[in-house]
Amino acid sequence: MGLSIVHTRARDGVRAPAVRVEVHVGAGLPNLTIVGLPHAAVREAKDRVRAALQCAQFVFPDGRITVNLAPADLPKRGGRFDLPIALGILAASGQLSNDALRDVEFLGELGLTGELRTVDGVLPAAVAAAEVGRRLVVPAGNGAEAALVASADVVVARTLLEVCAALGGEKTLPRAESVADVVEQSAPDLRDVRGQLRARRALEIAAAGQHHLLFIGTPGCGKTLLASRLPGLLPEATETEALESAAVASISGRGVDAARWRLRPFRSPHHTTSAVALVGGGPDARPGEVSLAHNGVLFLDELPEWGRHALQVLREPLEAGSVVVARAATRAEYPARFQLVAAMNPCPCGWAGDASGKCRCLPQTVERYRARVSGPLLDRIDLHVDVARVPPEVLREDAPQGEASADVRARVACARTRQLERAGVPNALLDQAATNATCRLAPDDRALLERAITAFDLSARSLHRILRVARTIADLDGSDDIATPHLSEAISYRVMEY
């Protein structure tokens, strides 16, 4: 008879709560029971663990074995508990020392041969283990991901035998190593965009203040091309931001590209994507596209073609910067502080307002098409930009190219630094009190803004967003105060001409 305790981590959103694997081996008929709210994959661990121990030439103890995963009210999912269960059985049956398990945490799924297979959610577990000062043992395939946490003490193993040999003092497990070649900031260059000066200017403003952006224009005018250039204009992600984004990717089941983890994510889901896939959900409450785009860009092309329900669920994440996925037995909160870039045609055929006069859509048809995108959603988008067709002569190979992304990014970085020093957040994230404090207007400019609000029937939300955009334009100009040209330009981005 014996009792052992092994430390591990569960997956709960982007958190990795501690779990104690308590194993008791007692007298009775041979039986292995796992309790503590295990899901199907965890209940099946008893067969994987039995085969792995026997293949590794360990003695699977006779008698009644009870495995308790504490706390009992926390759902346990996946194969991540195989390794700690196996080690707990070995320690409870006297084949392994309990003392060796005291200050170590373990994660890993076992193959029938005792091979350690990769699991998801290793990055949050490495962060949590570092906070409590414990060493973490993970499968070799998860080593590069876990090594992203510089403060964590992480070692890797390929088999159950390697782990047991290390715990017995017979060998030393290698430390987890990060990928040697980390990709630097790389994205399509804004220089490739010909013409479109107003749209390029809007991209720069959006990048500087982290504002949401909507492009409206005819087919082939460059809306998608422009949107793909935004990541190259954004300031480099801080280590905290990069780890947050990587943690979401880690728990999503897609894994973390250790060579590109410092790059801001750019997500471009198809317009047939469901609301659940967009904001997260499913049986395991997985993160959706809005969370996978955290600290990056979410691009929605053909905006009116999206399902109305899918677009409506975007409204709360756009305001809150997070999303709560609640199911019957599961509740998870994920970060969703993304920058939205959307694109749409002005009518079903796409040619309304074009100088060619090709549009033959009836006014009622155009109105129904535009009504697919609700007013409350449009109200949450800071910059509305009409994108016109580019003249053929501008597209010639010998035509002058525009400014490169690197030059624009330098101005964006300076403006973003001013914002962070002044308020601690980009202008788009200012609350109402901070907006009133940092976006003061001269009396004449205040009157201009009020006239615009009245003339175009804009909401109070639009008023505050105009002020924040004007503040960003002033920051790009290096101005401490919002001047009339800054405010006038900001107002122009709320007036749609289509």
Task: Say if residue 412 is in the same domain as residue 445.
Answer: no
Q: CA-CA distance, 63 to 23, in Å (whole number)?
A: 13
**Distances in Å between the alpha carbon of 267 and those of 189, 290, 296, 300, 420?**
17, 8, 8, 9, 26
Residue 174 covered by a domain: no
Buried b (16+ CB within 10 A) or exposed e, 370-397: beebeeebbbbbbbbbbbbbbeeeeeee
Write phi, then psi, for 101 (nearest 5 degrees): -95, -5
Determine the 3-state secondary structure of 6 from DSSP: strand
Task: Say if residue 26 is in the same domain as residue 130.
Answer: yes
344 forms beta bridges with: 216
Task: Say if residue 98 is in the same domain as residue 200.
Answer: no
Where in 81-229 does DSSP place strands (E)? 104-106, 109-110, 116-117, 135-139, 154-157, 213-217
Element spanning 97, H or E: none
Structural domain count, the chain: 3
Residues of the domain holding 80? 2-167
Task: Say if residue 258 is in the same domain as residue 372.
Answer: yes
- Domain end, chosen from 372, 394, 424, is at 424
CATH number of 245's domain: 3.40.50.300
Residue 375 covered by a domain: yes
Q: What is the pLDDT of residue 495?
A: 76
Q: CA-CA distance, 469 to 239, in Å (whole number)?
A: 27
Residue 378 covered by a domain: yes
Which residues contact residue 435 at a Cβ distance below 8 angstroms, ignoring those fewer than 6 apart? 464, 467, 468
List, in sequence order, the alpha helices (H) in 25-99.
40-43, 45-55, 82-92
7 forms beta bridges with: 20, 105
Task: Say if residue 61 is in the same domain as residue 138.
Answer: yes
Residue 335 covered by a domain: yes
Residue 181 covered by a domain: no
Task: Give which of 108, 40, 107, 39 is closest to 74, Cα–Cα.
Answer: 39
Task: Say if residue 35 is in the same domain as residue 11.
Answer: yes
Determine the 3-state secondary structure of 442 from DSSP: coil
Copy the structure tokens of residue 271. Answer: 């317009």
Q: CA-CA distance, 346 to 150, in Å (whole number)?
A: 49
CATH number of 137's domain: 3.30.230.10
Task: Say if residue 377 is in the same domain as residue 442.
Answer: no
Residue 226 covered by a domain: yes
Encode the chain (498 residues) as per-residue pLDDT tens digits.
Answer: 689 999 999 998 899 999 999 999 998 888 999 999 999 999 999 999 999 999 999 999 988 999 999 999 899 999 999 999 999 999 999 999 999 999 999 999 999 999 999 999 999 999 999 999 999 999 999 999 999 999 999 999 999 999 999 999 999 999 999 875 555 656 788 988 888 899 999 999 999 999 999 999 999 888 999 999 999 999 999 999 999 999 999 998 777 887 788 889 999 999 999 999 999 988 778 899 999 999 999 999 999 999 999 999 999 999 999 998 887 667 888 999 999 999 999 999 999 888 888 898 999 999 999 999 998 999 999 999 999 888 888 877 777 788 899 999 999 999 999 999 999 999 999 999 999 999 999 999 999 999 999 998 899 999 999 999 999 999 999 999 999 999 999 999 987 654
Q: CA-CA distance, 2 to 66, in Å (whole number)?
A: 11
What DSSP string runs through 154-181?
A: EEEESBHHHHHHHHTTS--PPBP---S-
Task: Say if residue 389 is in the same domain as residue 476.
Answer: no
* Residue count (the chain): 498
Contact 25, 93 (CB under 8 A): yes
Q: CA-CA distance, 147 to 246, in Å (whole number)?
A: 12
Which residues contact residue 6 at a Cβ distance below 8 angstroms, ignoring those fewer than 6 apart? 20, 21, 23, 84, 85, 87, 88, 91, 101, 106
Residue 402 covered by a domain: yes
- Domain end, chosen from 397, 424, 451, is at 424
Task: Say if residue 25 is in the same domain as residue 154.
Answer: yes
323 forms beta bridges with: 334
Q: What is the pLDDT of residue 357?
A: 85
Residue 185 covered by a domain: no
Q: What is the pLDDT of residue 23?
A: 96
Does the pTM surpass 0.85? The reply is: yes
Task: Say if residue 197 is in the same domain as residue 345.
Answer: yes
- Domain end, chosen from 167, 202, 233, is at 167
Determine the 3-state secondary structure of 470 from DSSP: helix
Task: Say if residue 129 is in the same domain as residue 261.
Answer: no
Residue 277 one-letter amino acid: A
Copy the structure tokens of residue 346. Answer: 């002005």
Task: Say if residue 294 is in the same domain as residue 347.
Answer: yes
Determine the 3-state secondary structure of 124 from DSSP: helix
Q: What is the pLDDT of residue 498?
A: 43
Determine the 3-state secondary structure of 129 from DSSP: helix
